[in-house]
A and B are shown apart, each in its own frame.
Chain A
Amino acid sequence: MYVAVKGGERAIANAERLVAEERRGDPAVPELSLDQIGQQLTLAVDRVMTEGALYDRTLAALAIKQARGDLIEAIFLLRAYRTTLPRLGDALPVDTGAMLLERRISATFKDIPGGQMLGPTFDYAHRLLDFDLAREDAPRTPAKTVSGSPEFAVPRVADLLGGEGLIEPSPRSAAAEVPDLTQAPLAFPAARPLRLQNLARGDEGFLLALGYSTQRGYGSTHPFVGEIRMGAVSVEYVPPELGFPVEIAEITVTECDMVNQFKGSAEAPPEFTRGYGLVFGMSERKAMAMALVDRALRAAELGEESGAPAQDQEFVLSHSDNVEASGFVQHLKLPHYVDFQSELTMVREMRAEWERAQSRPATEAAE
């Protein structure tokens, strides 16, 4: 019989025990703690929180540990947990202009009010394996406190340029009703707020490839990094019984404002348009890719559609979610033997017909 899929409860329980054993590895090696993951695998935690759409470093660390470091599996775990949580209300829009900056760069201007600040980036590191790290007692050189670190709110670059009218202003969401991708199924055409929600949860690899494709001629957007900023922002909520905003959390986010050339149209003068990316933690690659894809998806609105994959919202938004994609791709390993049997029966019949046709005398076939 088909023992491979008819294992039943005992087989499932055994598989779970095997996973636990593999996860733990050699018991002689100390077990990973959530603190170690939370403190030392910070970028993995950031990605899992971003695509898992839940800001909780402890839970993300737990998910990473449970998933044995498989980040997409960890994202799935976090999503499945998130969906069970009660929804208490909507926070106020986060003010990234008031961010406590840890990193802030602009590629469009040499100097900007508030200055450029590299922060904890790999950008200019020589990618040489650091063998000192192989030792667990490697000496630590404490980082120098950034002398120029501004103690005040630094305005966003795009807002600085806004005065001249050369760059489109940040869209103000007039409607109090913000669509929620997790509470209503995606419907097409999707407006920008919904698209951005989808992209924020979207798979980093998928968005990276799509963003990259726009740089190689598949829906070119001529992008410049107007600004990337990373740091802490406060999350405010207005409890109905109080009627005024209360700070309920401080979260670290990375924001990317991509500035793109726009030649103008009959209705709009030439100006710079913007693509936007926002992610939890320091998922900067994702923020940049998201901004590129956001801008590419505005092609229809700006009358510059060329049929490139990144400009096609049904294509992009329907396939960006890695929990969905991973599930559907991997479901192929579930048993399909009933459907296969149907096909087998049909192919056998069709072959029999084909063979009958082949063996018929040539004259008959010619008729």
Chain B
Amino acid sequence: MTESSAGRLLAHPFNFAYLDEQTKKMIRRAILKAVAIPGHQVPFASREMPLPYGWGTGGIQVTAAILGADDTLKVIDQGADDTTNAVNIRRLFAKTAGVRTTTRTEEATVIQSRHRVPETPLREGQIMVFQVPIPEPLRWLEARESETLKLHALADYGLMQVHLYEDVATHGRIAKAYDYPVLVNGRYLASPSPIPKFDNPKLDRNPALLLFGAGREKRIYAIPPYTEVKSLDFDDHPFTVERWERPCALCGAVDSFLDEVITDDQGGRMFVCSDSDYCETRRAPTPEAADD
């Protein structure tokens, strides 16, 4: 090991948004195919990223592949822009792509998210990128990829229906709180990623393009704008979402997903919006906004 070998270890310039153009092209092809077959999981040659698997490498690769120099990026984790993982991913793209970043849902052209869909309705032209740990909704019921592939090919989702029915029989309800399975475009059963079921209705006929990236599992799937997304249920046990008995303690919202924050060791707790941008926007502009 000589001076020159140490010399070549000096900082290497990385391509725009980290990934090389060949890899981006490969990912874009997978995305196009995914958009063409809503809800179908498209295998792609996922790369090792400078962040660990499980931290959102699938979402990061999708974002890297679609990001342009004039995009504005928002990254959230648990609905919040200031969670460490969200900060870290935003930092990665600020460093490698130099794109404008924002915390405002309306301003963003690309929103990467882990576990939430923003409360502010998305609009046409926006792209939402979900980080997905296990893209296969049937994985908990059938561990083998070779088997689940067949079940999807045959649209044979009886396994899931029976599973949900067993929940009803045992617990009197469908006991699934997040990653609640959906049928996309009346054809493919898909995982909405581990968003709370509260967010599932937002996926239905959403004007934005919804992309899902699973890095470790090497799959990409999509819900194109205005696609029908149905949360599985039964006629006598219709799909419902979480409700809170109180509004957000900070902004008074009654329509948002609330996080429970433990405030002391006496059992004190408060409920606040998980969507930090939504909560701040409601508090900031006009004082009366907090009253509704």
Does A35 sit within 8 A of B, measured CB to CB?
Answer: yes
Q: When chains A and B are docked, how far (Å) is the Cα of A8 from the Cα of B87?
A: 6
A334 pairs with B54, CB closer than 8 A: yes
Q: When chains A and B are docked, how far (Å) is the Cα of A59 from the Cα of B6?
A: 9
Residues of chain A contacted by B286 (CB below 8 angstroms): none
The answer to whether A12 and B9 touch (CB under 8 A), given A34-B1, A353-B172, is no
Does B227 sit within 8 A of A, measured CB to CB?
Answer: no
B196 pairs with A314, CB closer than 8 A: no
Q: When chains A and B are docked, how far (Å) is the Cα of A332 from the Cα of B55?
A: 10
The interface-forming segment of A179-187, A263-271, A289-297 is: A179-187
A6 pairs with B9, CB closer than 8 A: no
Does B20 sit within 8 A of A, measured CB to CB?
Answer: yes
State the main secondary structure of chain B at its contact with A. loop
Q: When chains A and B are docked, how far (Å) is the Cα of A79 from the Cα of B178?
A: 33
The answer to whether A330 and B52 touch (CB under 8 A), given A8-B87, A341-B259, A342-B177, is yes
Which residues 1-54 of B have a CB within 8 angstroms of A?
A: 1, 5-6, 9, 12, 14-15, 18, 20, 43-50, 52-54
- Contact digits for A30-61, partner B, Cβ 8 Å, 1 yes 0 no: 00001100100000000000000000011101
The answer to whether A339 and B144 touch (CB under 8 A), given A58-B9, A327-B54, is no
Which residues 1-28 of A have a CB within 8 angstroms of B?
A: 1-2, 5-9, 11-12
Residues of chain B contacted by A339 (CB below 8 angstroms): 115, 177-179, 194, 196
A346 pairs with B84, CB closer than 8 A: no
Q: When chains A and B are docked, how far (Å) is the Cα of A11 from the Cα of B85?
A: 11
Which residues 92-108 of B have a CB within 8 angstroms of A?
A: none
Tell me which of B43, B57, B78 contacts A187 (CB under 8 A).
B43
What's the nearest-Cβ distance from chain B to residue A339, in Å? 4
What's the nearest-Cβ distance from chain B to residue A220, in Å? 24
* Pair count A-B, CB < 8 A: 156
Does B155 sit within 8 A of A, measured CB to CB?
Answer: no
Most buried by A among B1, B144, B242: B1
Which residues 321-367 of A have a CB within 8 angstroms of B?
A: 323-324, 326-332, 334-339, 341-346, 350, 353
Tell me which of A38, A86, A334, A353 contacts B55 (CB under 8 A).
A334
Does A145 sit within 8 A of B, measured CB to CB?
Answer: no
Q: When chains A and B are docked, how far (Å) is the Cα of A132 from the Cα of B173?
A: 69
What's the nearest-Cβ distance from chain B to residue A87, in Å? 8
Which residues 35-84 of B have a CB within 8 angstroms of A?
A: 43-50, 52-55, 57, 77-80, 82-84
B145 pairs with A188, CB closer than 8 A: yes
B interface residues, tally (CB under 8 Å):
65
Residues of chain A contacted by B87 (CB below 8 angstroms): 8-9, 12
The answer to whether A323 and B53 touch (CB under 8 A), given A62-B9, A188-B145, is yes
The answer to whether A1 and B261 touch (CB under 8 A), given A334-B54, A342-B242, is yes
Question: Which of chain B's residues has its CB closest to A181's CB?
Answer: B45
The answer to whether A182 and B45 touch (CB under 8 A), given A334-B85, A338-B259, is yes
Does B123 sit within 8 A of A, measured CB to CB?
Answer: no
A5 pairs with B52, CB closer than 8 A: no
Which residues 131-172 of B have a CB within 8 angstroms of A?
A: 133, 143-146, 171-172
B196 pairs with A328, CB closer than 8 A: no
Does B289 sit within 8 A of A, measured CB to CB?
Answer: no
Does A192 sit within 8 A of B, measured CB to CB?
Answer: no
A185 pairs with B44, CB closer than 8 A: yes
Residues of chain B contacted by A5 (CB below 8 angstroms): 78, 83-85
Residues of chain A contacted by B82 (CB below 8 angstroms): 6, 8
Q: Taking beta carbons and an 8 Å cutoff, which residues of B are in contact with A? A: 1, 5-6, 9, 12, 14-15, 18, 20, 43-50, 52-55, 57, 77-80, 82-85, 87-88, 91, 114-116, 133, 143-146, 171-173, 175, 177-179, 194-198, 216, 218-219, 242-244, 257-261, 274
Q: Taking beta carbons and an 8 Å cutoff, which residues of A are in contact with B? A: 1-2, 5-9, 11-12, 34-35, 38, 57-59, 61-62, 76, 79-80, 82-84, 86, 182-189, 314, 318, 323-324, 326-332, 334-339, 341-346, 350, 353
Other A-B pairs, 15, CB within 8 Å; known A2-B259, A83-B48:
A5-B78, A5-B83, A58-B6, A59-B9, A82-B48, A327-B55, A334-B55, A338-B79, A338-B257, A338-B259, A338-B274, A342-B196, A344-B260, A345-B244, A350-B173
Q: List 23 A-B contacts (CB under 8 A).
A: A5-B84, A8-B82, A8-B84, A12-B87, A57-B1, A76-B48, A80-B49, A84-B14, A84-B20, A182-B47, A184-B43, A184-B45, A185-B44, A314-B145, A327-B55, A328-B53, A331-B55, A335-B78, A335-B83, A338-B79, A341-B257, A345-B177, A345-B243
